[in-house]
Amino acid sequence: MPATTSSSENVARSAGITSAAVFLSRITGLAREIVLARLFGAGGGAANDAFLLAFRIPNLTRDLFAEGALSSAFVPTLVDYLANKSKEEAARLANLVATSIIFIVGVICLLGMIFAPQLVDMLGSGFRGVPGKFELAVSMTRIMFPFLLLVALAAQAMGILNACNQFAVPALSSSLFNIGSLICGLVIGFVAGPYLGIPAIEGMALGVVVGGALQLGCQIPSLVRSGFIFRPAFDFKHPGLLHIFALMGPAILGNAAVQINVAVNSNFASQIADPVTGLNGPVTWLGAAFRFMQLPLGLFGVAIGGATLPAISRAAAQGDMEDFRKTLSRSLGLVFLMTIPSSAGLIVLGKSIVGSLFEGGEFTSYDTRQTAAALAYFALGLAGYSALKILVPAFYALKDSRTPMYISLASIAINYAVVTTMTGAAGFGHAGLAMSTATVAAFGGLVQFLILRGRIGGIYGRALTASVMKVLFASALMSFAVFGIEWAVSQSISPGRLRYVVTLIAGIPAGAAIFYAACRKLNVEELDLAVTAFSRPFERLRARIR
């Protein structure tokens, strides 16, 4: 593995700062999920399942156009303008992109609201089997579609600030969305709703739109201070805008393949009949499980990927491929160091994690077991999913958006084959859908790594492989120890929340200590980089206190 470079250190520090903000975002997002699950139920509960599906529809479109294709194409282009042109030209490009977003995404929102019944039918045809569930999902889809425009503009603002090496405010903006959408949703749904005739769950949907406005608004002061003040601009022949559109074409097709997989899985989920309850559509189990996987994914995959993109984009723009390779290799090593033990922890402690936070009210112990089963399979794809957050932008930094597209299109066949096998003949039910997601992530991550390695003349693959093997061994030691702790606690405490909490209190610190000691003993080189990265926010906090 190459010696740590200044670019790698900068990426690590930026990732550490972003991780702290993402951690807050994931925790507040989890709190929102817990409130919804306890207020409106799970495992086929009409209200929460309808809300989650309705929220997923603009989210799918957001991933397709905003945080997916747009961000991947926009950030490298903006970095190139900042490095090789002037800030004034970069600001004009940003205004052209924002104006295009308002026009194009605004039309998409309008069409989405008009064709909401068809969209709900596509993603949740099984909802028609429960009286009122389909109609409720359609109503909330129409309420929440404007969220797409707000979050698309927020994603562009995040890209601008990241290109300017500002990571904390954009990452914190999603926390403001979670907090704002929850508080406003509760106020609208439970305080004002009874007087206005608004059902409580639709009040939560309105809260999502308000939260999206807050997510955008909190970034505007930082944009202004950085010299990016929005002024409407129209020039569809501008070379920078045309370049972004050219990159976005294959990116949209590639992301569309991902969304097709999500749509297929959602439709399967809405039709699966649970053998115990007999209810259709365990959407909430899958949603809650994926929320838990999003914590390490956001902390490590998204944070490191977001910090890596501007650095490798600058290296590519300057033609410094050695720095590109070193930064990419270090980022991947750091991702694997953090996500492999996280996967092991989610598998071993999944039931305790879900039960301690979700179980109660309408969310039963049976819901806990079903959610934990899905979480275990989701966790198998965490490392691949996180690696994609680095590998896909690396292709865009090299001005290649076609390769990720081809791989994504190939994943459609893989996803469908795994879904039909796992939920059908294999009888895994909803857990089979989680397994499919993990399989597609692992496939995409491996294939893109191999292609990129050949494209840039190597990514220090041998050293990276050696590091991964050491991390796997350390994670195995950690898992055996934590499993033993969980067994010991189960022998002394009766089933319930106390057992879940004690297991976590005893298991997580012990597991972390064993993993750290094993990695130190095995001389895992990324360990020092990780310590530097994730202690940075606390160093800043201590400095401010002093």
CB atoms within 10 A of CB 75: 24
Tell me the pLDDT tens digit for each residue of 281-304: 467 788 778 878 878 887 787 778
Q: Is 1 contained in some domain? A: no
**Between 132 and 66, where is the model more confident?**
132
Residue 273 bridge partners (DSSP): 280
User: Is residue 2, in this structure, part of any structural domain at all?
Assistant: no
Please write the tens of the pLDDT for every residue from 318-342.
888 888 888 888 889 989 999 999 9
DSSP states along 49-87:
HHHHHHHHHHHHHIIIIIIIIIHHHHHHHHHHHHHHS-H
6 in any annotated domain: no
Segments forming the whole domain that contains residue 52: 11-274+281-536
For residue 184, pLDDT beyond 90: yes
Is the Cβ–Cβ distance between 278 and 364 less than 8 Å? no
Asked if 387 and 445 count as a contact pair (C-beta separation under 8 A), the reply is yes
| Dist. CA 521–CA 508, nearest whole Å | 20
Task: Check pLDDT > 60 for residue 214.
Answer: yes
Whether 423 is in a domain gets the answer yes
Buried b (16+ CB within 10 A) or exposed e, 111-146: ebbeebeebbbebbebbeebeebbebbbbbbbbbbb
332, amino acid identity:
L
Is residue 512 a part of any domain in this protein? yes
- Number of domains into which the chain is organized: 1
Q: Distance between CA 40 and CA 26 in Å, rounded? A: 21
- Computed over every residue of the chain, the mean pLDDT equals 82
Taking the CB of residue 544, how many other CB atoms lie within 10 A of it?
7
pLDDT beyond 50 at 137:
yes
For residue 83, pLDDT beyond 90: no
Coil, strand or helix at 359: coil
Q: Is 3 inside a domain boundary?
A: no
CB atoms near residue 252 (< 10 Å): 20
**DSSP labels, 111-158:** HHHHTHHHHHHHH-GGGGGSTTHHHHHHHHHHHHTHHHHHHHHHHHHH
Domain assignment of residue 36, yes or no: yes
pLDDT tens, residue by residue, 476-520: 999 999 999 999 999 988 888 889 999 999 999 999 999 999 999
Measured CA to CA, the distance from residue 69 to residue 106 in angstroms comes to 17
Tell me how far the alpha carbon of residue 10 is from its chain's centroid: 23
Work out whether the CA dihedral 244, 249, 252, 255 comes out positive or negative.
Answer: negative
199 in any annotated domain: yes
